[in-house]
Structure 1
Amino acid sequence: MEKIASSQVSETFRSYPPIVREKLMYLRRLILETASESEGIEQLEETLKWGEPSYLTKSGSTIRIGSKKATPEQYAIYFHCKTKLVDTFREIYRSVFKFEGNRAIVFDKNEEIPVEELKHCIYLALTYHNRKHLTMLGV
């Protein structure tokens, strides 16, 4: 898998307070790992959307990560709100994650992230275009 990165993304990560930067870099690592472990994802572009690190692939829907400005003790991984992604995640992982509407999984700064479950959500987002026609995204 080829990763295309932007120097603006690096600058954005550096602009976050240290604890937020650490948490967002961890989410970034999970996204990159998931993409590299997944068949059919040939290229992952890292860019900025709405001023936040975002990850795009031809086979999937954009994933964005950022801090919650209104609640600085939280950060989130965002998904396109017009997809079935968060509704599917909520159905599968209702008792595992906290959700914000149909667009985000939200974490508290001191919360331990359920890695396998989150990587599954990331995988479903990165391969969304191949599965959007399936009931519950084929899960």
Structure 2
Amino acid sequence: MTFSTSVLAVLDSYPGEVRQALLRLRDLIHDTAGQNREIGQLEEALKWGQPSFLTVKPQTGTAIRIDRDNSGQGDFALYVNCQTSLVSEWQAMFPHLTYGSNRSVHFTLEEPLPEDELRQMITMALTYRSKKRKPAAKRRSHP
């Protein structure tokens, strides 16, 4: 794992409960990646001023960003690239969660963090590109 002092500085700048929730989400991202060989090592950085997590191994996944939520849909959120199909897939799998268009899932401090769902979402995001390539490779090898 590659940890970033700039990411930690941003997270430390948030009020207590939001900071703790985002730190827990950050830990969950790293823990989930660490348990999946396909994902491999993560790199932390700031992307658009938000803590961002991306696989070091190229062509594996799409970046995950986390931040406090200023949209009014929750207290903090997990963001992915809006050009992926991830959020629509998550909506079908987990309709009970709150989504922001095609780029985010939102959480409140009053509700427990849905860790099982989040682990699946994190895995899907961090393997997004490799999963998209595999079906194409299979089709080419079977005429």
Identity between Structure 1 and Structure 2 (%): 38
- When normalised by structure 1's length, the TM-score is 0.88
Contact 2:77 2:104 in 1 (8 A): yes
Give the 3 Å change call, closer, same or farther, for CA 33–71 of structure 1 in structure 2. same
1:72: how far off? 8.9
Contact 2:87 2:103 in 1 (8 A): yes
Higher strand share: 1
Name the Cα RMSD after superposition. 1.7
Q: Matched residues in 1 for 2:103 and 2:64: separation? A: 10
**For 1:76, what is the secondary structure of its paired residue?**
strand
Within 5 A, what are the aligned runs for 1:78-93? 78-93=79-94
Structure 2: which amino acid aligns with 1:28? R
**For 2:38, what is the secondary structure of its paired residue?**
coil
Contact 1:47 1:54 in 2 (8 A): yes
Give the 3 Å change call, closer, same or farther, for CA 64–108 of structure 1 in structure 2. same
Q: In structure 2, list runs of 5 or more residues that go unmatched.
A: 136-143
Q: Number of residues paired by the alignment? A: 132
The answer as to 2:68 corresponding to 1:40 is: no
Q: Indicate the residue corresponding to 1:77 in structure 2.
A: 78
Q: Indicate the residue corresponding to 1:29 in structure 2.
A: 27
1:70: how far off? 4.1
Alpha-carbon deviations, 1:18-73, whole Å to 9, x = none?
11100101110110010000122222001101111110113100000001124395
